[in-house]
Every structure is written in structure tokens, then in C-alpha cells.
A = this chain, B = another copy of it.
């Protein structure tokens, strides 16, 4: 008796879906079944959205955030402070900082991190482009706002060293206790950062 499998078009859809990050074969199968069985209209709109996203989205020539023109809306906005650049790993991080609503400078998206253990060298991020921007002379401070992870810390240090000779100030986001964080549940690294970065209270 032959082994029973899904029809080939469904197998292919499952294979393609499981190439997505965080989607394993089980999830891909569930998604494919949902698309084929419950929601044939979604198949069309999703295929069209994929196509339009591929055609309609490019990256800002200056900061590498998403852009529909050559430059993104932030780089085009002349009310922003062009002397401060906030360096981020990926575009989503920019949305988080904009949501905070306090930062008025501009950005630089690396689209990657320095992660030698994963075979990602400095060329796997938009670092040379940052160096070129700093060399133009308008920038006085580079805020290294990569995540507070091992790779994020290593990348920040690597970039700080790369920019050392260029006479620009490099800063790193503070690390410590998160708002609402209980001491009992804080890990040692967070506590250590919170201790070493402690501030004097003005009484």
C-alpha cells in the first residue's frame, strides 16, 4: 500500500511556508490547510500583498529604513536633528523608538549584527555606510541602540571602536532594571548592570 501524502501543490505550499522564520513543518501545515480550506479569498489577497510588497518597498539610501522614495520620511523631515544618529539592528526597532516619542534625531539601520559565531562579519551589516555618513562631518553623536544581548553588545563595541578615530561621540543605551521589574526575579547580568550603572539620587 502506497504511503498517503498531501497533494503536491499543498506539499509545495507547506515547504515554502516552512522556510519562514519561526514556522516549522507543523505550523506550515496548519497555515496551508487554513488557506486552502477555510479562506480561499485570503490566498489571493496574500499573494497580491506579497507581490506588491516586493515591488513597492525599497530602502532609504541614507539610513536604510523602509522608503517608498529614495529617502525615507524621517530623512526627508528637516525638523529633525541631523547631528544625532541612532544606530539600530532592524526597522522594527525604529518604530519602538518613535513610539516613545522623545527622540528627535535621525537613524541608521544596520540590517544585521556582528555575530562571528553565526558567521556574520562586519560586512553583513550596513557599517561602512555608517562610517561614510560620519565622515561627512555633520554628525556629532552616534547612539548605539542595538539590543542588550550578547550580539547587540558586541556589535555596539565593534562599531564604537570602528568610529573611534573619527572624532564622534559614541553612546550606548543604559542597561539596568526594567520598569516594574522585581529584584527577586532579576537575572544576575541585569542586576550587575543595574549596580554598576547606578545613579546618585538628588534628594
Interface residues of A (CB under 8 A from B): 1-10, 12-13, 15-17, 19-23, 27, 29-37, 39-40, 42-47, 49-57, 66-68, 73-74, 77, 79-80, 90-92, 94-95, 98, 104, 111
A67 neighbours in B (Cβ, 8 Å): 7
> Hey, which chain B residues are within 8 Å of A37, CB to CB?
111
Report the minimal beta-carbon distance from A53 to chain B, rounded to whole angstroms: 4
Q: Is the interface of A mostly helix, strand, loop or mixed?
A: helix
Whether B1 pairs with A19 at a CB distance below 8 angstroms is no
Give min CB distance, A75 to chain B, whole Å: 11
Write 16 A-B pairs (CB below 8 A) sorted by A numbering: A6-B91, A9-B52, A9-B56, A10-B53, A12-B49, A13-B53, A16-B42, A20-B34, A20-B35, A21-B30, A29-B92, A35-B50, A43-B54, A46-B50, A47-B51, A50-B50
In the complex, how many angstroms separate the beta carbon of A169 from the nearest chain B beta carbon? 24
Given B3, B43, B57, which contacts A36 in the complex, CB threshold below 8 Å?
Answer: B57
Q: Which of B19, B35, B80 is close to A39, meaning CB atoms less than 8 Å apart?
A: B19
